[in-house]
Structure 1
Amino acid sequence: MKTADDAVRRAIIEDYGVLGGAPEPDLEGLVRLAATVCDVPTAVINIIDDRFQHQIAAVGMEPAICAREDSMCAVVFRKPGHTVIRDVTLDDRFAENPFVTGEIGNVRFYASSPLVTPVGVPIGTICVFDERPRDLADDDSDALKLIAHQIVDVLELRRISRELGESNEQLENFAAQVAHDLRNPLTALAGYIELASEVPEVAGLPTASRALARAESAADRMSGMIARLLDYARVGGAPVRPKPVDVRALVSSTIEDLRSAGEDGGVDVAVDAQTTVNGDPTLLAVLVQNLVGNAVKFAAAHGPQPRIAVGVETVVGGVRLTVDDNGRGVPSAERDLVFEPLERGSNTDAPGFGIGLATCRRVVAAHGGRIGIDDSPLGGARIWVILPA
């Protein structure tokens, strides 16, 4: 009889995606380890759904599928604890099982440990068995329990990796669509700026000419970023085209863009950036723009006197870029989370969609670098980036 627990178990098993394919090398390694540690000829990793037992990795036999009612592990896997039986012919639970009677196998010694997911749902077992009665030492029994935990860790890693891949693909498609949608109006805007700058009445006004020149420069930079981001989204990471980049100029242009858009909040940015970074100018511009823009938003949301500081220094093996602010900071428990797409953590005072830091991490990864968050001397967050020399 199927139960609600069976439906939950089936959904979790589907999320792991281990049924129907070739055995995973990591799982094969763990099942071999179980057989070696327990000194038995046969070991199996079983996944048990509402109808079948699926042997997803095995040593000493070929992985197969059997009906759940024929499974020995199905009798015990939902019960807490470890099972060790010297001779299953003397156990009423198993004496008539086809794996014992000779119909499928001739099991005598049997031991299993349940595979329990992080949310507490048992989905199967790691089991070892032999065709002769025998005992299992306490240390070997403990090792089998540990291997069961390791198997679940491998399944969880497989699930998370697949979900991240799907998330990144969605983000790439989203970025491609946004870049595509922005390209045409930006081209039109650049055309209008050029036409306006050629009007004699405007050309004779120094203030208007300077404003148009800044607007044209910003439009050119944005056009370059969109072109590369579109390429970046299409291929899942455009090849880095490294060259020496003046970080001071990069930060200054970012601040100028923010001020032109009225988004700097009157922030006085201190720049200590004497070191030249070797990297892709367009991608690093995206990185700095996101980092500084984020700091400006959160510092401005925190109080009437926002402060931002950007620094660059040479470190062993590369260059470190830091962006400090005096905002609320990022709690330690959320410092990995906020780099995920569409995640903002608990700090929702400032506007945004949680894409900026995810983009930063992709740019840093493309350069072979690292990115992280610490407490800032200014009282808020310090986001640091290390780019290899």
Structure 2
Amino acid sequence: MSVNASTIAEFSAPGNLNELTPANRSTWSREFISKWMNDEIEGNQQGRTPLSQFFNGTVTAYEVGQAGVNIVWNGFPNRIAIRFGNNDERRWKAADSSRDVQDEYLEWSLIRDNENKIISVTFTCEGPEYWQFLGSDQRDTLVSNIYQLNSPLLDGVDKRQFFSVDPKDPNNEKKWIYNPNNKFNSSTTTGTITHLVQDANTLGAEIDIAAQATVLRKSRSTGKPVTESDQLIRCSRYGDPDRNSDPRIGFKINQLALTGASVSIADPVGLYMHEFDTSNFKLDPTGDGESLQDIPEGTFTFQRGDIHKQQGLRLKIQIPAGIKNEEGRQLTVSDIFDTKEEKHIAFGAQFADYITMGVHGVAITGGRPAPAEPCLRPAAVAASAAFEDVVPELRQKIKDQASPFKRI
């Protein structure tokens, strides 16, 4: 072990956000990130076994300042890409249709004007568990963040609409339970979004995939090693093999484990936008694709997280007020032209093609790999609990809600 190895005092909030109280920082680290990791290490979930090559950085010393390994994937939903192939318009439209299909740990919502032009589109990759924690332990911060991040669209909205309220005692805020699937955080057409809500898009899922991928596998029938990404995810039964993210995370972690390294997720544990490639975008004030201009400063804004550290959490895209064409019309996101595709922006999903998602792995090298274990049988692992299980009555709540979408 390196002489520079040490444990970390506690896990930070995602993106090193500086909004938790000291007590809540400790609670987040101890009762969420650290607990999830310890549960994986101890094999506490049904069908799991204890892990020898996954570690918790608050317990096990490691070289904290190491470069580590970036594990990246494209933010556009691969399951949609598989279904619609090379038909860009159909896949973009499908990806914009529902948050349920935005399953690469990246979700978005947009709002249009009366001419169907996109006013703004906002992307998030923040896990729901962190926001549920705010809702239970630091509610004022939760409410303030929701209003601030979604202004002016939520100006004047009663905060109780973000919660499940006891109808028999509606004014007793102590009985309010934060509803992660509230109508302002579940639609693709309101322009409002706070955090991830798709069932598989959770921090717990990220940790589970990384942890279980440290288990070396072999074929149950032939005994040969299983290392190819698609075969590995099916063999270990973590995540979804049709996503961009899960097989990639599992493969990269497993490759480290094959060397004998013990592996973990770097602090701050989170799901991040690592890069947003804007080089193909130009502003087209005339609409002919010929009189192109540079994108105005302030069009692409990372509102949370630090994209320069590959830790972007929230991206808002909107042409700044006052940027008009010669006829005096305020220009919109739909006036952005993609020079690579030679198309104007008509869907938020077009930007997802250019967003690289990622997590950061760290390792303790120099160990010996554990013996490979046979592939799991189909019924060996219980289905992972989605984050809505924290408040069971919220499950499916948004499915039948009418959209609050209104044009501006």
Question: Whose relative contact order is higher, 1 or 2, with alpha carbons under 8 Å and at least 6 apart?
Answer: 2
Give the TM-score range, shorter chain. Answer: under 0.3
**TM-score of the aligned structures, taking structure 1 as reference length:** 0.19
**TM-score of the aligned structures, taking structure 2 as reference length:** 0.18
Which structure: greater helix fraction?
1
